[in-house]
Every structure is written in C-alpha cells, then in structure tokens.
Amino acid sequence: MIIVTLKENFDPRYPDFPVRRLVVDLLFEPRQSDTPPAYTYYEGAFIDTAAPYVVIPYNLHSSGHLKIHQDLGRKPYRSLAETGALLLQPFAMVGLRFLVKTPTGQFAYEPEQFLTVKAYLLDAQIHPLKRVLLGLDLILENFLLQVNKDHSFLQLLAES
C-alpha cells in the first residue's frame, strides 16, 4: 500500500485560495544501475486524473538518467491550462516506483520492481515545467485509488 498525502497548494497570486492535491514521492528507473537514486528521485508528484498519462518535465528527463524501455514516437499533448493546437511530444515507456514509509519507520520502495508505464517526456518550455503528473492511465492500469480526508492510498491491483 502506498500512502498518498493530501496537501493544500497555493498560487502566490491567490494566497487565500487553497487547491487540494494528492501527492506522492517516486523514483524513476535509472538508465544505468549505478546511477545514484538522487538523479531519478522526484518528491511531490501530483496524482492528476485530468492528465491522461504520466507527464515528465524536460528538466527531469533531459539529463539522460531515466531508462526508456520503449520509444513510442511523438504523440499529441496539451495541458488543460493551454489553448491552441495540440503539440507533438515524445512518448515512451518508463519505469517508476514509489518511496513509502513502512510501519517501522523505515523507507522502502513500492512496488519492489519498477512498474513500466506510458509517459510524455516533455520538450523544453512545455508545461508543466517542474511538476511530475501521474495520470489516469497509471491509476486505471495498476492501482485502486482510495481518497478521503483522513487516509488516502494507492493499492496495487495485484494485491487487491
């Protein structure tokens, strides 16, 4: 089970308008096994069911540290905040898993093996610029998502 944090985010322009977000920490699968985890770790990814797939900003994948399991070409992309024509963005299969705190207070990864998921690898200057989004396809294909004010979590479908 992966505990999901319910967090209030604030846009500095609207300090009295909090937006609740579901947040998790994760590790992308490194291209090389000796890559330090800090190079592929991401703290504070949003679970965003409005995003169709995982969305990885340019600054995270451009270093070349993420393992690309399969290049799926360029696919149409546009964030909900943008208007105009769809942009063709790199689309690929990548691996990820979540950093969780165990009942003993230790940290571990769930699942033990990386999940291979579909992801947009955004070009430079395409939004979001800094935030990883975990889209609906990831949830539907791999997890049950339980959300309430006191206890939210992801549970692997294989465990349910």
Output the CA–CA distances (angstroms, integers) from residue 94 to 6, 27, 108, 121, 151, in the order listed.
Answer: 26, 11, 20, 10, 29
pTM: 0.93
Q: What confidence tier does 65 reach under pLDDT thresholds 50, 70, 90?
A: very high
Rounded to an integer, what distance in angstroms lies between the CA atom of residue 46 and that of residue 24?
A: 7
Rounded to an integer, what distance in angstroms lies between the CA atom of residue 155 and that of residue 30?
A: 24
Q: Pull the structure tokens for residue 149.
A: 């004010």
* pLDDT per position as a tens digit, 108-158: 999 999 999 999 999 999 999 999 999 999 999 999 999 998 899 999 998
**Domain 2-6+21-152, CATH:** 2.40.70.10
pLDDT score at 103: 85
Name the maximum alpha-carbon separation found in the chain: 50
Of the candidate ranges 8-17, 68-77, 115-124, the one whose mean pLDDT is the lowest: 8-17
Tell me the mean pLDDT in the region 64-92.
Answer: 91
List the one residue out of 76, 106, 107 whose CA is nearest residue 91: 76
111: cis peptide before it, omega within 30°?
Answer: yes
